[in-house]
Amino acid sequence: MAILEVNEIRKKFDKEEILKGISFSMEMGQTLSIIGSSGSGKTTLLRCLNFLERPDEGSITVNGDVLFFANYSKLDDKELRQKRHHFGMVFQQFNLFPQYTALENVILAPKLAATSKEEIEEITENGKELLRKMGLEDRMSNYPHQLSGGQQQRVAIARALALKPDILCFDEPTSALDPELTGEVLKVIKELAMQKTTMIIVTHEIGFARDVSDEIIFMDGGVIAEQGTPEQVIDNPTNERTKQFLANYLK
């Protein structure tokens, strides 16, 4: 069964329709990359999945549980927070909390939900383990401003993983990084892909998307123009727009 099913998502800002009916599904353990030019709606789609935007139409189902159905009355705050736990989100600008250390950033949210001392200890241990996996064991007590962009983004990935989301979303995770720092972040994401973490990655790194993805979606003008395996979409595109986009990209 598909872990995620997105059905006919539409979203308008003012009068302009940014998402014009997006449907796709993905399997557990898969990595899905969404590529496309700026303004094609890929970031908006990701933000809809994370409830940072509210779709006007359509539905989102995770593990058979309907998270969002546009005709529902407005979700209350508590319900919304429950549903959010299915998704983790890594932002382009990292958005770490500056007054907390790397470790505190990672464990803040699970700690707030914890009920016992033992649980907090477990959360702290788990947070340290995650940072170790990110190659940051000597950076745990550093504050964000003491870390490089690549290190900050790896902390942000650990922070998203700490809540054990079903699906981890990345919104252009390397776009705000110096070119020499993108490698360390991509490497971490690649490792996650090999460990069968279910991920959706909005990215401009076409080469990386080809390497790491099981499935690729090419978005154009608010619709899915082409979808398939990396071999299909990137190496043998059939849609004219995809060909154009990739040609510009590789130039």
Positions that interact with another protein (CB under 8 A):
50-52, 77-78, 81-82, 84-85, 87-89, 91, 93, 95-100, 108-109, 112-113, 143-145, 159-160, 163
How many other C-beta atoms are found inside a 10 Å radius of the C-beta of residue 148?
14
Whole-number minimum distance, CB 153 to another protein, in Å? 13
Nearer to another protein, 159 or 241 (CB): 159
State in angstroms the smallest separation of the CB of 251 from another protein.
32
Name which of 164 and 196 has its Cβ closer to another protein. Answer: 164
Q: Closer to another protein by CB, 108 or 181: give it.
A: 108
Least distance (Å) between residue 52 CB and another protein: 6
- Nearer residue to another protein within complex by CB, 85 or 128: 85
Q: C-beta of 207: minimal distance to another protein in Å?
A: 27
Nearer to another protein, 96 or 200 (CB): 96
CB nearer to another protein: give 19 or 160: 160
Q: How many CB atoms lie within 10 A of CB 174?
A: 24
Nearest to 23 by CA among 63, 73, 57, 65: 57
Whole-number Å distance between alpha carbons of 121 and 129: 12
Which residues on adjacent β-strands are paired with residue 61?
Answer: 5, 66
Closest distance of CB 105 from another protein, Å: 9
User: Least separation, in Å, of the C-beta of 143 and another protein?
Assistant: 5
DSSP 51-86: TSS--SEEEEEETTEEEEETTSPPPPHHHHHHHHTT
DSSP per-residue codes, 141-184: T--GGGS-HHHHHHHHHHHHHTT--SEEEEESTTTTS-HHHHHH
Distance CA 149, CA 199 (A): 21
* Residue 137 CB neighbours (<10 A): 11
